[in-house]
Amino acid sequence: MDEKKKHITSGFDTSWKFNVSTKKDRKAQFLFFHIPKTAGTTFRYVLYNHFEDADLYPSQAELIANGGGYVNRSQFIQEKNYLNKTMLIGHFRVNILPQLMHKDLKKMAFFRNPLDRILSTIKHIRVHDKELKGQDVNLILKEKWNQIVFGQSMAMGYNPKDKNLDVVRENIIALDFIGITEYFEESLQLCNATFDWHLENITKQNVIKEEVFSLLSPKSKMRIVASLGPELNTYNIALNHFKRRCNRRSIELLE
């Protein structure tokens, strides 16, 4: 399989809480919330190796046709190509299409240490964003603040104005699979045990080897640290439930 595909970060929607509709029973459908910079691209290729291309949305052909990026929410809703697909992948938030979702929808997401994810997101935007490519990292942080700093929390329904961390907790617990970037191999084991799959690890994808922390101003660093609360809360909830599920499956975590 050709793993050298381009990847583009898409936008998000507003927060929401899981409320899956009860449409006519079909076989299970899976939705992977690809939260940027949480090893989601690597996991996507793992899924591509496991599923037939016809069962995926987007398929590899659809991804390439869209310039290497996922379709945006409005296009996703309008086209409805996903309705009979087994595995849906995208930069979704939890409010995505609740009225159309499959009754037996299995929800999946990876989470990452907040500071590592934040720095990785800044690097990604600096390399790939059309408007901010090559720009000063402090400007990038200012322009994309919510996306960078609250990316995981907002994917799980967090609204910075409402500070609704209770919704985030409920949505994380409702995930059928929780993966942790720092425990990627063990996450695959947990996914296999949860769904009776046979996923196999691959080389890390979409890795940008660039140091940006030293380029951040003292003010930017202080602002990030002062705002880490929601992301730390989100990550710790996910990590704790990940560890509990691994323990129930007798999956040993290597520190």
Instruction: Decide: 59 and 3 in contact? Cβ < 8 Å.
Output: no
pLDDT tens per residue across span 170-189: 999 999 999 999 999 999 99
Find the helix packing angle between 229-248 and 184-195, rounded to 10°.
60
Angstrom distance (rounded) from CA 249 to CA 233 = 24
The distance from CA 217 to its chain's CA centroid, rounded to whole angstroms, is 28
Residue 104 pLDDT > 90: no
Residues whose CB falls within 8 Å of the CB of residue 149, separated by 6 or more in sequence, listed in order: 118, 141, 224, 227, 228, 231
DSSP state of 165: H
Across 4-13, 83-92, 210-219, which has the greatest mean pLDDT? 210-219
Angstrom distance (rounded) from CA 179 to CA 33 = 11
Write down the pLDDT at residue 10. Answer: 32
Angstrom distance (rounded) from CA 36 to CA 159 = 18
CATH class of 29-248: alpha beta
Least confident of 21-25, 93-97, 136-140, 204-208: 21-25
Write down the pLDDT at residue 98. Answer: 61
Residue 99 pLDDT > 70: no
> Both tokens of residue 38?
């949480």
Residue 209 pLDDT > 90: no
- Strand order from edge to edge, sheet including 56-57: 56-57, 87-90, 29-33, 105-111, 177-180
What's the distance, Cα to Cα, between the start and end of the chain in Å? 31
Task: State the average pLDDT over residues 45-70.
Answer: 92
Residue 252 pLDDT > 60: yes
Write down the pLDDT at residue 14. Answer: 33
> Both tokens of residue 200?
């196999």
Write down the pLDDT at residue 3. Answer: 38
* 35 three-state secondary structure: coil
Write down the pLDDT at residue 21. Answer: 31
Higher pLDDT, 207 or 237: 237
Confidence of residue 191 (pLDDT cuts 50, 70, 90): very high
Residue 247 pLDDT > 50: yes
Angstrom distance (rounded) from CA 128 to CA 125 = 5
Domain ranges of the chain: 29-248
Residue 100 pLDDT > 70: no
DSSP state of 38: S
Least confident of 2-11, 18-27, 109-118: 2-11
> Both tokens of residue 114?
């907040």
Task: State the average pLDDT over residues 30-45.
Answer: 96
Write down the pLDDT at residue 19. Answer: 36
pLDDT tens per residue across span 109-156: 999 999 999 999 999 999 999 999 999 999 999 999 999 999 999 999
Residue 22 pLDDT > 70: no
CA distances from 90 to 12, 80, 115 (A): 10, 14, 23
> Both tokens of residue 185?
């191999």
Residue 71 CB neighbours (<10 A) = 21
Instruction: Decide: 190 and 70 in contact? Cβ < 8 Å.
Output: no
